[in-house]
Amino acid sequence: MYCTKKIKDDLFWVGANDRRLAMFEGVYSVAGGVSYNSYLLLDEKTVLFDTSDKAVQQRFLENVEFTLQGRQLDYLVVQHMEPDHSSSLKELIMRFPSVKIVCSEKTLTFIKQFFDLNYNFEKDAVIVKENDTLNTGKHTYKFIMAPMVHWPEVMVTYDEADKILFSADAFGTFGALNGAIFSDEVDIEKDYMDEYRRYYANIAGKYGDQVQSLLQKASALSIEMICPLHGFVWRNNLSAIINKYSLWSSYQPEEKGVMIAYASVYGNTENAAEILSCRLRDKGIKTVMYDVSVTPASEIIAAVFRWSHLVFASTTYNAGIFISMEDLINDLVAHNIQNRAAAVIENGSWAAASGELIREKLRQCKNIKILDKTLSLKSSLKKPQITEIDAITEAIAADFPQAVLPEANAKDNAKPASIDLNAMFKFSYGLFVLTARDGSASAGAMDNGCIINTAIQVTASPLRISIAVNKANYTHDMIIKTGAFNISILSESAPFSLFQQFGFSSGKTTDKFLNCAYNNRAANGIRYISEHANCMISGKVIDSYDYGSHTIFIADVTESIVLSNEKSVTYQYYFDNIKPKPQPPKDAKKGYVCKICGYVHEGDLPDDFVCPLCKHGAEDFEPL
């Protein structure tokens, strides 16, 4: 039986979930299963974006046929040829032999490698290049190449009409979709962000430069929705996942803290690692610990992408690194981890060797600071070596000045009073769109709005509120003139574009309501924000107070409407989750990336250069 989800009026999710899969790609455990997303557009032409894994092929095809309702399938856009998204391609073409395949030249090569198809590629395939477009009626799709995110043929597709990015494997996650399709239907940070991180770190973590290139291309687009091939569709708070990708792909840690991974046969190496963790915690430094013998490497690699400092503690085994620790270190090097500080603890009842071998492998990574302070155990930790544990603790803590706990008598060492303006941001401000209207409709009245962060209830009887408005805002002048306003209490789903619209320009020179969907008016005739707001309140000014840069207006409430049950956005939430974070500055060094295999060559590219991995020449490289 079909099971589909509506994304837009003419766009439907026709994918499927696999909860029986134990190991994704035969490597990564997926206790929560995985989703294979495919999207079907019903425009003047019908368009299917990618297919599915063979494990869910029957359900996928049922979904496609049900959604088409007897219509022909005009186009199949193949963004990614990995079999979990293309295994159903042959069966689909058998059912819709007239479908035109839209793909890149590299994808076409892969299709012919994977399948023997009775299909006229010369006649029916539409080969697209960077920024080529396809018009389907209402929609125009732009194709953007994204090589090595995380296969060489990958492209993403941008819908210029609905501002949707079909992002292939980018922005995806492990885990089946359990009825919810949109990221705002679940608690991403609490329940899913660990899996988003694990998916990125292990699937695309090696290809940071290529992901950065895609992010740069995407930054030039106005994106209001992201439809990935795994996981949830993002329609709100897109910056939450984009900012994570910006950090992960530039190999910048999310948090200051220490990831401790240990390999211990009889518990003695673990004991030393745990004492170090306790010492660091005493300093106020966050720590996490993993036993490499029982924790899947994919989880530890994800933790490495999260934390700023690393400690590897390993016993010596067969004159080398303990097996599971060596596998982990090799995996980290292969995933191109960078920009971390690392410390090493070794153990060996005779001829301890694991420490230097770990350091040798870590030196293959870029910008890994290996701390001089170390610890070498002979069978077990002895009391005199506690000073060495303390030395490692102090070396790590030197990078955490803000985390070191104050001395017990710090309260006696009072400093002169000072004012840190950042303290003002700790107030729990909300964010609101304040709207007003100047004049009557017959006289060519103008609507305007601005963002404010100060609005509170003053009394319950009579019901009154107060707002503080900057005098530089045109909305302020309107309220002075008319004595009426609306405030829309914004919710956490508010996109950054809304703040740009009402907060980044002046109503004196810009019509902020031009070509926007906010057409609702309250009884006072003033517009309000009906989407991404949980409440609208109308006010009639009864008093005002001049406080220099701002005017405080006291108003009777004349109307109020609850619009949704979403949480109100706070100033802190805005800065943490909505406002895009600046990408870390990239080195100015010149480089080129192979479009075939993703190999990165730093510096100038000689004309006769040959890729050391795939053996293609300089003509298959492009600038980073």
Mean pLDDT by 10 residues, the chain (624 residues): 96 97 93 97 98 96 97 97 95 95 95 92 93 97 95 96 96 96 94 96 94 91 95 92 93 95 96 97 95 96 97 96 96 95 95 95 95 94 94 92 45 54 64 86 76 89 91 92 93 88 85 83 91 92 91 93 89 83 59 74 86 75 79
Pick the CATH number of 255-397 from 3.40.50.620, 3.40.50.360, 3.40.50.300, 3.40.50.720: 3.40.50.360
pLDDT of residue 508: 85
The secondary structure of residue 187, as a DSSP letter, is: -
Size of the chain, expressed as the number of residues it contains: 624
- Domain boundaries in the chain? 5-249, 255-397, 430-569, 591-623
For residue 540 the two structure tokens come to 């009639």
Pick the CATH number of 5-249 from 3.60.15.10, 3.40.50.2300, 1.10.10.10, 2.130.10.10: 3.60.15.10
Using left for φ > 0, alpha for ψ between -120 and 50, and beta otherwise, residue 163 falls in left
Indicate the burial class of 382 (C-beta count within 10 angstroms; 0-12, 13-18, 19 or more): exposed
pLDDT of residue 53: 96
What value does the CA radius of gyration of the chain take, rounded to a whole number of Å?
29
State phi, psi for 147 to the nearest 5 degrees.
Answer: -60, 140
The residue to which tokens 């018009």 are assigned: 135
Taking CA atoms, 54 is separated from 63, 91, 115, 151, 347, in Å, by 14, 10, 13, 19, 47
Q: 430-569, superfamily in CATH?
A: Electron Transport, Fmn-binding Protein; Chain A (2.30.110.10)
Is the Cβ–Cβ distance between 275 and 302 less than 8 Å?
no
Closest CA to 622 of 593, 602, 600: 593
d(CA 125, CA 135): 16
d(CA 524, CA 559): 9
- Would the CATH topology of 5-249 be identical to that of 255-397? no
pTM here is 0.78
pLDDT of residue 412: 46
State phi, psi for 267 to the nearest 5 degrees.
Answer: 95, -10
d(CA 6, CA 571): 32
pLDDT of residue 308: 95
d(CA 111, CA 144): 19
pLDDT of residue 610: 83
CA angle 592, 110, 81 (to 5 degrees): 85
